[in-house]
Amino acid sequence: MIEYLVVVMLTFMDGSYVEYNDGKWETAVGEKECQDKIKIATTELKEFYKDQKDPKPSTFIQGCVSKGQ
């Protein structure tokens, strides 16, 4: 199975961003596990920043990055 780094970031209207888990990317075995972890991380960030107005949340950047062997 291929191992992936789970990358989830949220950008804001002012150009700033946050990384899920403070940039300590999780590892997933297989694409399915990676996608599942992305869903969890995205949900947590949406909930945490749902009431923030300034700067307003903008776009999620997410992906499964293959760990080189």
pLDDT digits (tens, 9 = 90+) for 27-64: 999 999 999 999 999 999 999 999 999 999 999 999 99
Residues 6+ apart with CB under 8 A from 18: 9, 10, 12, 45, 49
What band does 69 get if pLDDT is binned at 50, 70 and 90? Answer: low
29 or 1: which carries more pLDDT confidence? 29
**Contact present, 8 and 59 (Cβ < 8 Å):** no
| Number of folded domains that form the chain | 1
Q: Residue 10 is part of which domain span?
A: 3-66
Please, are residues 64 and 41 in contact by the beta-carbon 8 Å criterion? no
User: Backbone dihedral region of 21: left (phi > 0), alpha (psi from -120 to 50 degrees) or beta?
Assistant: left
Q: Model-level pTM?
A: 0.88
